[in-house]
Amino acid sequence: MTSRSRLPIEDVVSAGGIPWRRNERGEVEIAICGRRGEKLWVLPKGTPDDGEPLEATALREVREETGLDVRLGEPIGSIEYWFTANGTRYHKRVHHWLMEPVGGDVANHDHEFDEVRWVTIPEALELLTFEGERNLVREAARRLGVDV
């Protein structure tokens, strides 16, 4: 490959979270976001506005994408991956926090997803599309004392 054919590389960052609660049976559930047409299920996340701290981005994106008002918990980890778009190769890092809901409702999620639903940890591990996000959920389960 010659240097003329190499794509430019850009580092990008996003932030999001794992909103969690205990249901009436005492099971931990998390909120995940889906697009039916794409058969895609993911954790809520997004890109910072100019000058926005990652923690604020995570809270805003979770609120927008899930309809939940959440309280920031401990950092749960980061995932990274590569993708190509518009002639650029991107190296993306996505930072996640545990988050507890303090209000809102998943019925109030934004237009970005068709559906947001509460699922148990085992259900999330079955539904989530990407292994990196499944690994974050496994770590969240460990920290929340849930066997998986």
pLDDT tens digits for range 63-86? 999 999 999 999 999 999 999 999
Residues 16 and 58: their CA atoms lie apart, in Å, by 4
Of 92, 75, 78, 89, residue with least CA distance to 13:
92
Q: Distances from the Cα of 43 to the Cαs of 5, 116, 140, 146, in angstroms? A: 35, 10, 12, 18
pTM reported for the whole predicted model: 0.91
Please say whether the structural domain 7-143 has been given the CATH code 1.50.10.10: no
Tokens (6 digits) for 81: 């991956």
Q: At CA 49, angle to CA 47 and CA 53, rounded to 5?
A: 85
Length of the chain: 148
Please write the tens of the pLDDT for every residue from 82-123.
999 999 999 999 999 999 999 999 999 999 999 999 999 999
